[in-house]
């Protein structure tokens, strides 16, 4: 079976001699052949730049320009690995990412050079792509041909950072074989054709853009279209200009697109589908209604440890069933017992969330290839299950389970529903709640453009629910109207209503358009934005005043819980 595994290098070599459009960028088009030739030249340059005996790693600190996919392809041909460097990182954190992944070459552009000012990067050769010196350096490698003979499926190709709520980002390893297989799997799943165009507007330093957008395009011989950085206002113009048929999204990108002014010709576009995560059922339906484009919500652990595929008959709100080969279970992390199936009311409300929501675990073989130089993080992902099987719903099988860090629940038919991150679980009055479920309810609020739900410590025990709401343009927050909306939601449990509501003009997000929950939790109700709250025993929301904050802080101090607000 090993001989059947493809490498990304082989896929790059296959594009040599293909003169169809291969790469679109800001109105300019390169053929597949030109892209493969550019990758071959860069691979030859890289072979000369990497010191003997050093780890064959290069960092790429770029926006989504043609240099990014060409260096990915070059690394594959050279048997090297690319560490995608996040340009929103600063100072020592940025230096740490480059040095931790042992990059001996750093590819960047003039716009990002200021990020490197004052950084100590010993032994790192910096190449600046939009300079004459870089062009002259590459010119001496013109005529190089792509050679895939030295690449193996087990060669490291990606070192991409995954964020967490605490600690430094971890660099997940992805091999050539895994990336090539992931691309082919999406080709088969979505029927990707050579005449398709994949629009990449999510940042390529993140796994989503490379694994779910670039890799299937490469596997199918489709065209890749790049946007330097995601732009909601420029989305449709780009899609029409490049003829995009497919795009990926993460985080709040879909909400930002829906927040743009509607136009009568919104449905006049070539898109066939979008694939991603965290759009939510409400926004996905609104997107299809407005733009005529179906969004497919998927799930795949960034590290490759678990995947869920949508299949015919998947209920509304569910993601799908376990991908072939995965043995997925929803497990209570405390007892390591499998959670009971979800029970729904006639209107679709989940009735037993406290019992049915648990962490998604893959008990079978998985594709997780580890983190670079981080054995503690490896061990946290690969933890043993129950030491022995017992009656009463014990999950069978022993150690080595892959723990995703994501919350799910499963219905009686085996369909899986996403319920948030384990870090986003709340415990209110001894009841476990999932932030994602509350967010899905609050997203129905007509005046909300984006919603984030997270825990703030309760002064006595457990958590309280806090929500940050970004309002649609031209509206102001009406606490009475919001309170009435909450009362009208049949699936809003008695513990779910937010105690605090923060109003922002724009939701704070990370570079990958995911909500910056760490920052929101850290600031809590002590922030510069207006906050409304329901004091204990009161039903209506009112503005949180300085005297209210002083009173709350005194209560935290009196009960020895003030330090929890700093985490």
Provide the whole-model pTM: 0.81
Grade residue 393 by pLDDT with cuts at 50, 70 and 90. very low
Burial zone of 11 (CB within 10 Å; 0-12 exposed, 13-18 middle, 19+ buried):
buried
Place of tokens 């675990």: 361
| pLDDT bracket for residue 168 (50, 70, 90) | confident
What does the pLDDT average to over 62-86? 98
- Considering the chain, what is the average pLDDT of its residues? 90
SS (H, E, C) 115-137: HHCCCCCCCCEEEECCCHHHHHH
Query: pLDDT grade, residue 278 (50/70/90)?
Result: confident
CA angle (497 as vertex; 492, 502 as ends), nearest 5? 135
Instruction: Out of 1.10.510.10, 3.40.50.10320, 3.20.20.70, 3.40.50.12780, select the CATH number for domain 2-297.
Output: 3.40.50.12780
Question: What is d(CA 338, CA 173) in angstroms, rounded to the nearest whole number?
Answer: 29
Topology at the third CATH level for domain 318-423: Luciferase; domain 3 (2.30.38)
Residue 556 near residue 456 (C-beta atoms within 8 A) = no
| Strand 307-309 versus strand 416-421 pairing type | unpaired
Q: Do 318-423 and 429-566 fold alike per CATH?
A: no
pLDDT at 563: 66
Whole-number Å distance between alpha carbons of 152 and 35: 21
pLDDT of residue 167: 58
The correct answer on CATH 3.40.30.10 for the domain covering 429-566 is no
Domain boundaries, the chain: 2-297, 318-423, 429-566
Pick from 150-154, 168-172, 378-382 the range whose average pLDDT is largest.
150-154
Cα angle: 484, vertex 489, 493; to 5 degrees: 110
pLDDT category at 488 given cuts 50, 70, 90 is very high
- The percentage of the chain sitting over the pLDDT mark of 90, rounded to a whole number, equals 70
337: tokens are 């017992």
Q: Average the pLDDT over each of 54-63, 223-232, 243-252 and give the range with the smallest value.
A: 243-252
Q: Which of 1-10, 179-188, 232-241 has the lowest mean pLDDT?
A: 1-10
Asked whether 42 and 60 are in contact (CB, 8 A), the reply is no
pLDDT of residue 2: 40
Q: How far apart are CA 119 and CA 103, in angstroms?
A: 14
Q: What is the pLDDT of residue 495?
A: 84
Separation CA 10–CA 178 (nearest Å): 13
């Amino acid at each position: 079976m090993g001989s059947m595994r493809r490498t990304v290098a082989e896929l790059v070599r296959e594009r040599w001699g293909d003169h169809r459009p291969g790469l679109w960028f800001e109105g300019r088009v390169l053929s597949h052949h030109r892209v493969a030739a550019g990758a071959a030249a860069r691979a030859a340059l890289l072979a000369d730049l990497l010191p003997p005996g050093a780890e064959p790693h290069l960092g790429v600190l770029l926006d989504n320009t043609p240099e990014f996919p060409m260096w990915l392809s070059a690394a594959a041909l050279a048997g090297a690995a690319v560490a995608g460097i996040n340009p929103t990182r600063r100072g020592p954190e940025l230096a740490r990412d480059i040095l931790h992944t042992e990059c001996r070459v750093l590819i960047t552009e003039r716009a990002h050079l200021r990020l490197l000012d004052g950084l100590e990067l010993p032994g790192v050769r910096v190449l600046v792509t939009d300079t004459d010196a870089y062009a002259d350096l590459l010119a001496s490698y013109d005529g190089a041909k792509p050679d895939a003979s030295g690449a193996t499926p087990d060669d490291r190709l990606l070192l991409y950072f995954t964020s967490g709520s605490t600690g430094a980002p971890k660099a997940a390893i992805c091999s050539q074989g895994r990336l090539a297989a992931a691309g082919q799997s999406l080709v088969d799943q979505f029927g990707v054709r050579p005449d398709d165009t994949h629009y990449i507007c999510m940042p390529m330093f993140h796994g989503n853009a490379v694994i779910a957008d670039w890799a299937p395009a490469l596997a199918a011989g489709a065209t890749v279209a790049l946007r330097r950085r995601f732009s909601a206002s420029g989305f449709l113009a780009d899609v029409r200009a490049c003829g995009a048929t497919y795009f990926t999204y993460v985080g709040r990108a879909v909400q930002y697109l829906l927040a743009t002014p509607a136009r009568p010709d919104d449905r006049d576009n070539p898109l066939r589908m979008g694939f991603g995560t965290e759009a939510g059922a409400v926004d996905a339906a609104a997107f299809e209604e407005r733009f005529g484009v179906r969004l497919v919500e998927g799930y795949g652990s960034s590290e490759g440890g678990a995947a869920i595929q949508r299949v015919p008959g998947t209920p509304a709100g569910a993601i799908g069933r376990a991908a072939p080969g995965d043995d997925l279970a929803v497990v209570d992390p405390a007892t390591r017992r499998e959670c009971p199936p979800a029970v729904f009311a006639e209107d679709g409300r989940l009735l037993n969330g406290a019992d049915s929501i648990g962490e998604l675990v893959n008990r079978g073989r998985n594709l997780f290839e580890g983190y670079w130089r981080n054995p503690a993080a490896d061990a946290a992902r690969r933890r043993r299950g129950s030491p022995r099987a017992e009656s009463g719903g014990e999950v069978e099988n022993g150690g080595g389970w892959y723990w995703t860090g994501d919350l799910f629940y499963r219905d009686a038919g085996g369909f899986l529903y996403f319920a948030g991150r384990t870090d986003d679980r709340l415990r209110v009055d001894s009841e476990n709640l999932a932030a994602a479920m509350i967010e899905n309810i609050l997203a129905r609020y007509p005046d909300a453009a984006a919603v984030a739900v997270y825990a703030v410590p309760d002064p006595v025990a457990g958590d309280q629910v806090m929500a940050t709401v970004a309002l649609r343009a031209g509206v102001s927050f009406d606490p009475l109207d919001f309170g009435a909306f909450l009362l009208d939601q049949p699936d809003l449990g008695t513990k779910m209503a937010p105690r605090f509501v923060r109003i922002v003009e724009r939701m704070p997000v990370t570079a990958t358009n995911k909500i910056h929950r760490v920052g929101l939790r850290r600031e809590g109700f002590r922030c510069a934005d207006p906050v409304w709250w329901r004091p204990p025993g009161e039903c209506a929301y009112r503005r949180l005043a300085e005297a209210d904050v002083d009173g709350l802080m005194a209560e935290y101090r009196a009960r020895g819980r003030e330090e929890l607000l700093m985490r």
